[in-house]
Structure 1
Amino acid sequence: MTAANARPHVHGPSSSTDWQQRVAHAFSRAAPRYARLAEAQRAMGERLWSRLPDRAQHILDLGCGPGHWSVRLAGRYHKGGRVIGLDLAPGMLEEAHQRHGHRAHWLCADAAALPLPDAGLDLVFSNLALQWCPDLEAVLAELHRVLRPGGRALINTLMPGTLAEVSKAWSRPSQPAALLPFHASDHHHRAARLAGFSRIGVGATTQRFHYPDLAAVMSSIKGVGAQAARGAGLTRADLARATRRYEALREPAGLPVTYHLLTLELER
């Protein structure tokens, strides 16, 4: 999965459930065009790929989307490896099955309540899904539970400042843009420690991508489900205002979209 745009405030279990349903629906709708529009997400995923261990047999791709990384993992660990591609969005898993068949086992589930046994996994790979989870502590606790002693979790997620250009372009004085509440690195480190991980590595980088116009920017985000909660009612005046604001940020390479990437390397 990928970076996100606006989301509602989560005040309790019912709000959290509603948010998950909206995310699942948005990503399911985006599934057919996700692979074509997720170039930035794949580029950031290569950071995780370079950190994979030499050996692993039981592997979870958490937030697998249409299965790009699941299938690559199955190829990487083809000798005895078994990959589970897990996602909250049924439409993503349908797309993954249509594209890749049974090269991985596809599972629809919530990352905070994994239907997996204790200590059964060697490796968890998760590229840009964790920021969609409203309860970071619960997800990391679940990952610790399902990993065997010595097992590793490699995670890409996003930090504050991500998609700042999008926020600036679309915000209105009466209704400031509300992006996902991205957490800083120390928050992730603390949550991983509370979950019980014995080794915790945290690395931060900034990656910037460029697009020819606002339509391309929004396609790169909307096409991967990231418009889940902005809401309806945008007018032509809103679009014109956003275009002017974004054009003021134009660089020689095009309109910028900045991601503040956090990479976690956790060992149970």
Structure 2
Amino acid sequence: MSTALQPHPRVPADWQRRVAHAFSRAADDYERLASAQQAMGERLWSRLPARAERVLDLGCGPGHWSARLAARYGPDADLVGLDLAPGMLEVARRRHGTPLWLCGDAGALPLADAGLDLVFSNLAIQWCPDLGQVFAELHRVLRPGGRALLNTLGPGTLAEVGRAWARPGRPAALLDFRSRERHLAAARLAGFRRVAVEASRPRFHYPDLAAVMASIKGVGAQTARPDARLTRADLARARRRFEALREPEGLPVTYHLLTLELER
């Protein structure tokens, strides 16, 4: 089997539980702190098809994009928002009411075969350890001619953060982001007839280290490690390292964004 279809060997057995817990805790503050994530989502928005009747917002979070998709495609469209984190779905229901909200895993979608015209997913699948299974599920639930529009993250994402927090003999606990080539290979193996991946490097700036970390922790993008106890010395070292990177606009945080268009 191609390595593009295999989960990362170091993924903990309770990975999904930890991710769901982290994002549930962040649900109430997500939209306020997710300005970078929303800016990157606009790149997907510009690629939406003119019409779609059955739509899935995969990794919908508190429902920002689901609500916009529902407004765009109108009351006759069937739209589902799906997320792994129950806390995110609670916020989505409270703020937006409809559409249909489902708690589920991108690698085992609780949806029928060939039932969707469009899957929209902004910065969710990087949290899924088995990329091949995710793409196989997307291929299964899309109708022939259906499309998936996905934003995810590649190697080099948050390099400044990793450099600031790294300790001797132990790198920072960042995700093992997968390359453009691995996404291409996994999508083709899943059976998509058209696959396009565009790479870009959006950069955002923050006034200080606290704001940088709030933009990451505050949107749930961190899971606890048993050895993740930080000291005042760790914090001071991270602050010094990040300050050395300061630009006129502030402290930089760079994402390696992969924007995928898949057609079944």
Normalised by the size of structure 2, how large is the TM-score?
0.95
| Aligned residue in 2 for 1:70 | 66
SS in 1 for 2:57: strand
Distance in 1 of aligned mates of 2:180 and 2:222 = 25
What is the identity percentage for the equivalent residue pairs of Structure 1 and Structure 2? 74
d(CA) in 2 for partners of 1:220, 1:83: 28
Cα distance, 1:178 vs structure 2: 3.2
Within 5 Å, give how 1:34-53 maps onto structure 2: 34-53=30-49
Listed as ranges, the gaps of 5+ residues in structure 1 are 1-8
Partner of 1:251: 247
| Cα distance in 2, alignment partners of residues 230 and 221 from structure 1 | 16
Report the counterpart of residue 188 of structure 2 in structure 1: 193
The residue type paired with residue 32 of structure 1 is D
SS at match of 1:204: strand
Distance, in Å, in 2 between the alignment partners of 1:46 and 1:199 is 22
Residue deviations 1:232-254, cap 9 Å, x none? 41111110000000000000000
Secondary structure at the counterpart of residue 216 of structure 1: helix
RMSD: 1.1
- Aligned residue for 1:5? none
Q: Secondary structure at the match of 1:124?
A: strand
Using the alignment, how far apart are the partners of 1:186 and 1:241 within structure 2? Answer: 35
CA 1:11–1:174 in 2, change beyond 3 Å: closer, same or farther? closer
- How far did 1:79 drift? 4.5
SS in 2 for 1:20: helix
Count residues with an aligned counterpart: 256
State the distance in 1 between where 2:165 and 2:221 align.
Answer: 14
Which secondary structure does the structure 2 equivalent of 1:218 belong to? helix
1:33 to 21, 29, 33: 29
Distance 1:10 1:212 in 2: 37
Which residue in the other structure is 1:130 paired with? 125
Q: Distance in 2 between matches of 1:80 and 1:99?
A: 21
Match of residue 157 from structure 1: 152
User: Partner of 1:241 in structure 2?
Assistant: 237
- 1:175 maps to 170
SS of the equivalent of 1:266 reads strand
Q: Give the counterpart letter for 1:147 in structure 2.
A: L
Q: Does 1:227 align with 2:200?
A: no
- 1:11-22 matches, within 5 Å, as 11=10, 15-16=12-13, 18-22=14-18
Quick one: which amino acid aligns to residue 185 of structure 1? R
Q: In the TM superposition, what whole-angstrom CA distance separates every residue of 1:30-59 from its partner, at most 9, and x where no partner exists? A: 000001000000000000000000000100
5+ unaligned residues in a row in structure 2: which ranges? 1-7
Q: 2: CA distance between counterparts of 1:158 and 1:179?
A: 12
For residues 90-148 of structure 1, the C-alpha deviation after alignment (integer angstroms, 9 at most, x for no partner) is 0000010011012x110000000001000000000000001000000000000000000
Distance 1:181 1:227 in 2: 13
For 1:201, the aligned partner's letter is: A
Which of the numbers 157, 161, 173 marks the counterpart of 1:166? 161
State the AA in 1 paired with 2:107.
Answer: A
Distance in 2, matches of 1:88 and 1:79, equals 26
Decide which moves more: 75-84 or 108-117: 75-84
**Structure 1 residue 174 displacement after superposition:** 3.1
Superposition deviation, residue 82 in structure 1: 1.3
* 2:111 is the alignment partner of 1:116: yes
Letter of the 1:73 partner, please give it.
Answer: L
* Cα deviation digits, residues 181-220 of structure 1 (max 9, x gap): 1111111000000000001111011100000000000000
Alignment partner of 1:146 out of 134, 141, 145: 141
Secondary structure of 1:115's partner?
coil
Whole-angstrom CA distance in 2 between matches of 1:76 and 1:197: 26
Aligned residue identity for 1:236 = R
Residue of structure 1 equivalent to 2:4: none
Moved over 3 A (4+): 9-12, 229-232
